[in-house]
A = this chain, B = another copy of it.
Amino acid sequence: MNIQNIIKQHHLELLFQQGLFGIEKESQRVYADGSIVTTEHPKAFGNRSFHPYIQTDFAESQLELVTPPSKTLENALRWLSAIHEVTLRTLPENEYIFPFSMPAGLPPEKQIKVAQLDNPEDVAYREHLVKNYGKYKQMVSGIHYNFQLDPAFVQALFEAQTKQTSAVDFQNDLYLKIAKNFLRYQWILLYLFSATPTVDENYFRDGTPLQPNQYVRSLRSSPFGYVNEPEIKVSFNSLQSYVDSLEHWVNSGKLIAEKEFYSNVRLRGAAKARDLLKTGIQYLEFRLFDLNPFAPYGITLEDAKFIHYFILLMAWLDHTADQGDIELGKTRLAEVSWEDPLSPTAYAVEGELVLLQMLNMLEALQAGDEIKAIAKEKFAQFANPRDTLCANVVVAIDQFGGYQKLGADIAKGNKKNVFERFYALSGFDNMELSTQALMFDAIQKGLKLEILDERDQFLSLQYGDHLEYVKNGNMTSHDRYISPLIMENKVVTKKVLAKAGFNVPQSVEFTDVKSAVESFPLFENRAVVIKPKSTNFGLGITIFQQGVQNRDDFAKAVEIAFREDNEIMIEDYLVGTEYRFFVLGGQTLAVLLRVPANVVGDGEHTVKELVEMKNDHPLRGDGSRTPLKKIALGDIEKLQLKEQGWTVDSIPPRDLIVQLRANSNISTGGDSIDMTEQMHESYKQLAVGIAKAMGAAVCGVDLIIPDLTKPAENNLQSWGVIEANFNPMMMMHIFPYAGKSRRVTLNVLEMLFPELKVR
């Protein structure tokens, strides 16, 4: 079978370049000085027995971050970034993630805790590793790169050839070809991407093999790294021989389990190698890669793409490596790993030849310009070893005053960066902040998360067999459909709430002066607001806060309102302050006060300066990518200032509050202040009852309350409900301008997955 011809003849170029990608990244938790922590895996990361994203590898200190399988590398890497952001923001304040594969600042062996997993077999396996290799060697970290060809491509290829009659055998042969050629040429990727020139000298049991000031390309891939004894040879001739030889080493006791075979390519698709004979190889795991310390998440998108096409090249090549070639490849890998990173490799010519074939392949596939540019850049690094990653690392080590220091500095920088926009997941920043917060929590606690529609904020969450869908962060299967329909209709909302006995302000509409004025007795002594049905700038509005006593005043207000519109409304006027109650699952979880945009004078700065200072707050921004909005100084704000006798250049006296808006919306620069603890319990119970009356599991209830410290009474003077919202903003409770943060997204998860015990 000539794969190149078939791809060309059958126009499979596009299918060939598609696939499924998954990244696993190990790394050590460290303290600020780069030394490995001796603390346990943080409890906040939920339960490792099922966590799909945040695991531990060998030791408690060794994080293993896992992306879900993704159709594009772009997506895999934004998952990797999200998982990192969650991890870094969850770690204790004094902990960081070390950016290098090889440890620095190793603690005494005794202090290294083997990962405390639930499964006793997993623990026993680790105890065996300790005995065989010592703990230090197990602390080495790296990137595992999982790749599956598009099954449609494999199928098309199978159908286009005639040699093989079994589709499973055909697929196994194809993946074995990739695996063998990869093992033959893996040294090339090592040359380009290695980044472990040195290590903590305690790492070596029998003293360091490195000369003073000696750097190598990859300690990790060298015989001092995370490798099997040289005698452990496994055949890749066929899947059958692979299974047989691997089982031989396990049966002979040289390996405690199949997974102790540290090949840089693993055949994947079944838990046990022998099962692969039935299922067929489904995908490959490539384990060669050192962490890239300069990439915030250990690997760059460009390098990941290059690796993808390098793997494709292994399938594309005319020849297939045999067992001898594989051994040659392994020897070459060991040799290159011990080369000086700043010098050319001994095998530059072979490297260039292989990359030339890659360039030819890209041409034949009509691949995009980006990957061609990347491939050319890598090609050039054979002539310029100082451009390789490892050379750059070596230079940086010297610049920053040592390996551990460099690692610690990078680690601190990375952690600082993820706190810059601590309320967002940068990879998913086109989604709503509330949904990002829920995704953060889901990733943290280990719910299997899938984005069904990014623009529509539609997620699926899964724990075991339990599947839930969530839209906009809080629309779920727990709400009854009738609830939002009730809340959407203000008339119905009022009727339902009034039916259930809550204090609801009434409003009546009129279309002529006469009948409105005649209705005076209906409103006598009631606090009402009389207003045109649609109003500009508040024109035509009269408020009788103390109750309308006098028929003439009433008639005059009616006339004024009718000047602005041919329909007016007379509504009960509620005296008091508006609070937002966030109700979920029969509890008021948060109470928020929204205050109109304002600045507080200091007797020194102008209004303009005060606004600028206030706008510097980390939560303030455009209001969609940030929890709060910057205060504008537009016409409305200037008018508001003018009414108080100020201009933007006035200097208000100390402690004077200068109002910049009449409305309290967060979206016009308002402040959000958590009042959950201050609010009298009786109002919280009312909000719960209001949500219940409408059958809502999640609900934002707006109450007007004159005195939040007094218990609620059964009249509109004590409180009134003006609105209920079936899609309440959660962000303002999680990141209020002042007061305590209420992580209500966690409550959403608790409601959906009570069995998970997220707190």
Contacts and interface: CB of A to CB of B under 8 A. Distances in A.
Interface of A: 10-15, 152-153, 156, 366, 452-453, 456, 458, 460, 467-471, 475-486, 489, 491-492, 495-496, 499, 515, 518-522, 524, 551, 695, 726
Given A480-B481, A481-B480, A482-B476, A156 B489 contact: no
B458 A492 contact: yes
A483 B482 contact: no
Nearest to A150: B522
B521 A14 contact: yes
Contacts of A486: 458, 469
A471 B475 contact: no
- 7 nearest A-B residue pairs (beta carbon): A479-B481, A477-B480, A14-B518, A452-B492, A477-B482, A471-B485, A469-B482
Contact of A522 (B15, B458, B499, B695): B15
Of residues A366, A460, A477, A483, which shows the largest number of chain B Cβ atoms within 10 Å of its Cβ?
A477
A492 B472 CA distance: 14
Per assembly, the copies of the chain total 2
A11 B521 contact: yes
B520 A11 contact: yes
Contacts of A499: 460, 467
A520 B468 CA distance: 36
A521 B12 contact: yes
A521 B10 contact: yes
A496 B469 contact: yes
A108 to B, nearest CB: 50
Given A476-B481, A477-B695, A489 B14 contact: no
25 contacts: A11-B518, A11-B551, A12-B521, A14-B515, A153-B521, A156-B521, A156-B524, A452-B489, A452-B491, A452-B495, A456-B489, A456-B492, A458-B492, A469-B485, A469-B486, A471-B482, A475-B482, A475-B485, A477-B480, A477-B695, A478-B481, A479-B480, A479-B481, A481-B481, A481-B726
Given A11-B518, A477-B480, A480-B481, 16 more contacts: A12-B521, A15-B521, A15-B522, A152-B521, A152-B522, A156-B521, A452-B489, A452-B495, A453-B489, A458-B492, A469-B492, A471-B482, A471-B485, A475-B485, A479-B482, A481-B726
A66 to B, nearest CB: 21
A506 to B, nearest CB: 12
A453 B492 contact: yes
Nearest to A488: B456
Contacts of A483: 477, 481
A469 B495 CA distance: 11
A338 to B, nearest CB: 44
B11 A458 contact: no
Nearest to A467: B499
A13 B517 CA distance: 11
Contacts of A460: 496, 499
Given A480-B477, A482-B470, A485-B471, A453 B521 contact: no
